[in-house]
Amino acid sequence: MKLNWYHWNTDIGQAVACAPSADAAREQLLATLPEGDGARAELAAALKARPSINPQQRYAIVAWHQ
């Protein structure tokens, strides 16, 4: 199975996930927040945008800041 890095640059921040498809990447990111969490709804709305994809990238560095 081929995996790609998907990247979203949104109004609320950036998101990155490694998955076989953009839909799978969205689900992977949404799974990090519980149902009913206001941040989850905000993230779901932000991830409706089309992500950029980089099939050549082998790794990503992820940092989270609140």
For Cα atoms 47, 27, 60, give the angle at the middle one, nearest 5 degrees.
Answer: 75
CA distances from 38 to 22, 41, 52 (A): 22, 5, 25
Quick: pLDDT tens for 17-41: 889 999 999 999 999 889 998 889 9
Whole-model pTM: value is 0.76
Model pLDDT, residue 59:
65
